[in-house]
Amino acid sequence: MSAFSPISGTYVSTRGNAPSAHTQGFELETSAEPTNNLSLAFNVTYLTTEYDDYSAPALGTVPAYNYTGKQFPGQPKWQYFASADCSIPIEGLGAIKFGGSVNWQTGYFSDQLNNPQYRIGSKHFVNAFIGFQTADKRCDFTLTARNIGNEFYYSTLTPIGTAIKAGPYAGTLLLQGAQNPPRTIFFKVGFKY
């Protein structure tokens, strides 16, 4: 959790254990090969989280807190994944392989208090690849693209220092956060001895 430090004037990470919490949900993973050259997969995860008892009075520089009834940070309620991989044999040469996948998840809070300003929205990513494997399966050439849509999302948000003290943005708290990688395209060559 993050707590304000009067010594540094910023938020710092501290550790704490929740005396009581619960989670419930399910995960379904499916895969199919409708033909020898086509593989399909679909996964779905549902998860709810809640602190049943997680509070404490102020202690030294750590202010009092009460997370009872709040969701765990960083836990989306729904997550989906789907993929398809296909291989087209070319007699005597090898096979062309291609496929793609999509990941999607609902939004979640990145802080213990479930403040709206720390809510991360739902996000999705699309990935794809195309490649060629020689008939003797010794050489592979693959072109891969991740995050094809170049989608930008934060995965966490945390405050930076104290709120702005003057001007039109007085009272505004600045935030920083980790982000997903941008569109990434790479080419890989594999060789087996």
pLDDT at 8: 63
Q: For the chain (length 193 residues), average pLDDT per consecutive 10?
A: 60 72 96 96 97 80 80 94 97 95 95 87 96 94 96 86 77 83 96 90
Say what the pLDDT of residue 140 is: 95
The whole-number pLDDT of residue 105 equals 96
pLDDT in tens, 65-96: 788 999 999 999 999 999 999 999 999 999 99
Name the residue ranges covered by the structural domains of the chain: 2-191
Q: Structure pTM?
A: 0.79
Please tell me the predicted confidence (pLDDT) of residue 2: 57
Res 67: pLDDT = 87
Residue 113's identity, in one-letter code, is: L
